[in-house]
Amino acid sequence: MAKVQDGHTNTCDSPAMLEESQDGMDSGSLTPGPASARQVCIQRHPSQGFGFIAGSQRPVIVRSVSADGPSIGKLLPGDQILAINEEVVSEASRERVIDLVRCCKDSIVFTVLQPHQSPKSAFISAAKKAHLRTNPPKVRFSEQVSFSDPDSTMLKDDTLLLIPNVLKVFLENGQIKSFTFDSRTTVR
């Protein structure tokens, strides 16, 4: 049995069930790369359970992961649950999957697959949405304001063209949002 840092005993002691890296850390955590099945061992929390919500029929998909739950960093929204405690559930009924999860009182081992998504997609993946919900981007307004002054230090870059009646907002993530305005524009 492996001891985890919070003092609880990890009952996932089968080498096939819990992989440990050379530094002794649980390698069931998420790593970017090609779509491949991974095994994660999750300890049940007394009040939060396993800290995720699953849905759909076949295959069962992780819909969401509690931000402070035991599944954080191990499961991602969109993960397909392929096996529970080494029992293949990719074609099992929803009820069977629920029964398998409920019968695990202390810990559970999932074999999951995060389907490969094209990096060129214009849509945000379920994993990215979950990350943005738990870590929303910070937006701050600059103390510096420019009113179409060609000598402004902010506008020395040739790519930042001045356009009449356009307000440009420079976001910390590198995006520029532009808003047009005229004499009828009001601010609420």
Q: What is the pLDDT of residues 46-58, one digit of tens each?
A: 988 898 888 777 7
How much is the pTM? 0.47
Token pair of 87, please? 């029992």
Token pair of 106, please? 């202390």
Nearest residue to 128 via CA among 26, 32, 28, 54: 32
Which pLDDT value is given to residue 123?
A: 66
The DSSP secondary structure of the chain, one letter per residue, reads -EEPTTSPEE----TTT--B-TTS-BTTS---SS---EEEEEEPBTTTBTSEEEE-SSSEEEEEE-TTSTTTTT--TT-EEEEETTEE-TTS-HHHHHHHHHT-SSEEEEEEE-----TT-SSPPHHHHHHHHHSPPP----S----S-TT-GGG-STTS---TTEEEEE-TTS-EEEEE--TT----
Question: Using CA atoms in the order 26, 31, 34, 36, what is the torsion angle rounded to 10 degrees?
Answer: 30
Q: Residue 97 pLDDT more than 70?
A: yes
Token pair of 89, please? 């559930």
CB 126 within 8 Å of CB 78:
yes
Which pLDDT value is given to residue 185?
A: 76
Which pLDDT value is given to residue 44?
A: 92
**How far from 93 is each of 52, 59, 69, 97, 114, CA to CA, in Å?**
19, 9, 26, 7, 20
Q: What does the pLDDT average to over 33-46?
A: 83
Q: Is 2-134 in CATH node 1.20.1250.20?
A: no
Sorting pLDDT into bands at 50, 70 and 90, what band is 111?
very high
Q: Which residue has the higher pLDDT, 13 or 66?
A: 66
Q: Which residue has 């981007």 as its token pair?
A: 137
Which pLDDT value is given to residue 157?
A: 52
Residue-range domain boundaries for the chain:
2-134, 137-188
Amino acid (one-letter) located at 177: K
Q: Residue 39 pLDDT more than 90?
A: yes
9-37 residue pLDDT tens? 334 443 333 333 333 334 344 444 456 88
